Chains A and B, each alone.
Chain A
Amino acid sequence: DAGVIQSPRHEVTEMGQEVTLRCKPISGHDYLFWYRQTMMRGLELLIYFNNNVPIDDSGMPEDRFSAKMPNASFSTLKIQPSEPRDSAVYFCASSLVSVDEQYFGPGTRLTVT
């Protein structure tokens, strides 16, 4: 298996633009997680899905952030409009069961200028 795939790996955009991050989980994994990592706040869980259904989005910082999982093999995290404080590394992870090991993708490094 190729592991968790994320795209793009790097994104530089201007404030106010829409940003879409993409994730393909490991085939057969029922759980998908989106995290954000910054130096100041560490690794924060934004939202997670079970069988394509959002279970907990309490970590989503505000209405500018939205996430979807239209099928078992694809998820998106969208920021609209983007702000400089959104600059971070965004990780997608998947797991077989909720209490099991999570496999992380390589991350998307987002810079908003």
Chain B
Amino acid sequence: RKEVEQDPGPFNVPEGATVAFNCTYSNSASQSFFWYRQDCRKEPKLLMSVYSSGNEDGRFTAQLNRASQYISLLIRDSKLSDSATYLCVVNENYGQNFVFGPGTRLSVLP
């Protein structure tokens, strides 16, 4: 079983749609969680950290469920510029292991 798994995608959605990505992790000792965004042929960049209470940044909402070892990312009113690969990242063992998921590709269509 992989340490971090994500929806395989790709997701093709029209502009203005709401889309949700799921991520599960296997190590219950994981301490911190992030969503990164990677544009084609570019480096990954932090989209948002994921807090236990859930957090929102504009059109983006991240949720964490420690009991189910599950992380989600919701994008509302999607824009063409949201097209990218979204990487779920789990930091295990107090920073000793930073594990990236395989990513979910999103294409927002006009």
Once A99-B32, A99-B91, A101-B34 are accepted as A-B contacts, the answer to whether A45 and B43 lie under 8 Å apart by CB is no
> Size class of A's contact patch?
10 to 19
A102 partner residues in chain B, CB cutoff 8 A: 46, 98
Contact pick for B99, options A45, A91, A97, A101, CB 8 Å: A45
For chain B, the count of residues having a C-beta within 8 Å of the partner chain is 21
With the chains together, A42 CA to B42 CA distance in Å? 14
Q: Are B102 and A56 in contact (CB under 8 A)?
A: no
Per the 8 Å Cβ criterion, residues 62-113 of A in contact with B are 91, 97-99, 101-102, 104-107
CB distance from A78 to the nearest CB of B (A): 21
Q: Are B98 and A45 in contact (CB under 8 A)?
A: yes
* Cβ-based interface call for A43 (8 A): yes
* Interface of B, helix, strand, loop or mixed by DSSP: strand
Q: Are A33 and B98 in contact (CB under 8 A)?
A: yes
With the chains together, A97 CA to B103 CA distance in Å? 24
Give 28 A-B contacts (CB < 8 Å), ordered by A residue: A33-B98, A42-B100, A42-B101, A42-B102, A42-B103, A43-B44, A43-B103, A45-B97, A45-B98, A45-B99, A45-B100, A48-B98, A55-B96, A91-B44, A97-B95, A98-B95, A98-B96, A99-B31, A99-B32, A99-B91, A99-B95, A101-B34, A101-B49, A102-B46, A102-B98, A104-B44, A104-B45, A107-B43
The 7 closest A-B pairs by CB, nearest first: A98-B95, A104-B43, A43-B100, A42-B102, A99-B95, A101-B46, A99-B32
